[in-house]
Amino acid sequence: MPRDAFDRTIDYLRISVMDRCNFRCTYCMPLEGLRFLPTEELLTAREIQTVVEAAVDVGFRKFRITGGEPTLRRDLVEIVGRIRSVSGVGEIAMTTNGVLLPELAAPLVEAGLDRVNIHLDTLDPQRLRQVMRLGDLDRIRSGIEAAESNGLTPIKLNTVVVRGGNDEDVSGLARLTIDRGWHVRFIELMPLGGGENADYARDHYVSNDEVKARLESEIGPLLEVPPTHPSDESRNHRFAGADGVVGFISPVSAPFCGACNRMRLSADGRFLLCLLREDERDVRGALRGGGGIEVVREALRKAVAAKPIGHELSEGRSIRTRRMHQVGG
């Protein structure tokens, strides 16, 4: 297994396949003025497979497909199948808003996808349209049902908490875990993207301590669940007698950098050493410059060796100029 300079095992690669999205969440993307990568600048399915082959050779075992919204990628099923074909690949998961899963869940499972995380910020249809804007609650629910019926479990719902947007709705989401074996995870807003985007994040930030206090006040005590893996970014809890799990991902108030095991590959083919730093390493250029798996393998080894120990959010500023949809989350 690859180990970085701080003796962390780095064995989890998050692969962004698309910077486009069919939502426009207030904290992620403006409604207008966006420019997306042209198709020729995206890594191809074959190039992604080469990166995965190199990653497995280095010691990576877990892979997650992200976006933007990955289900907008027309060759997504092929990408999943190519990743699954690589000997040594363990879990393949995907983060999605879920609206295209009714059509895609079955072929994705057949191709080799194991599990999904689905983005859902509120159960209130009106506030969902305010926060997630182009999102539609009925379509997201249909996507969750499709994922569950096709075995993409355990279902994990990701909720970004926004003050004045959905912070009063967290209890409704947490109650879903009482009689379902789902994971509902509350994520602190991060100042990504610079400028107005970072200002919005700072102005609408809600700490997970506040979220947890609200849940315990409105529902009842949360009992801590021991982590299943030391690098799990979610601090998990459970209501007494509940089937599911309530998780708190707190990159701002309680950074988990010391146990980080992740590397990211952006849709335009760059290794991102940390979500909350600008450090990147170009791999697309190496691939298209005639380099094969050996070049990618060496680039990944160097990226792991250069991975920093922590981010700088404590300084209260935006760390990365690219928005979340551009880096893969």
In a domain, 6, yes or no: no
Give the whole-number percent of the chain exceeding pLDDT 70.
93
Task: Determine the pLDDT at residue 259.
Answer: 87
Residue located via tokens 């999102």: 135
In a domain, 2, yes or no: no
In a domain, 249, yes or no: yes
What pLDDT, in 10s, does the model give residues 270-305? 999 887 777 788 999 989 998 889 999 999 999 999
Task: Determine the pLDDT at residue 313.
Answer: 62
What pLDDT, in 10s, does the model give residues 254-263? 888 888 999 9
User: Do residues 22 and 29 touch, judged by C-beta distance below 8 A?
Assistant: no
Task: Determine the pLDDT at residue 198.
Answer: 74
Structural domain tally of the chain? 1
Task: Determine the pLDDT at residue 315.
Answer: 46
What pLDDT, in 10s, does the model give residues 231-265? 899 999 999 999 999 999 999 998 888 889 999 99
In a domain, 64, yes or no: yes
User: Do residues 95 and 66 touch, judged by C-beta distance below 8 A?
Assistant: yes
Q: Which domain covers residue 50, as residue numbers?
A: 12-327
Task: Determine the pLDDT at residue 147.
Answer: 98
User: Do residues 143 and 118 touch, judged by C-beta distance below 8 A?
Assistant: yes
The residue type found at 116 is: V
Domain holding 51: CATH number?
Answer: 3.20.20.70
Tell how far CA 129 is from the center of its chain: 21
Task: Determine the pLDDT at residue 220.
Answer: 98
In a domain, 269, yes or no: yes
In a domain, 299, yes or no: yes
In a domain, 276, yes or no: yes
- State which residues of the chain have pLDDT below 70: 193-195, 311-329
In a domain, 7, yes or no: no
Q: Which two tokens stand for residue 4?
A: 């970085």
CA distance 266 to 173: 30
The residue type found at 85 is: S
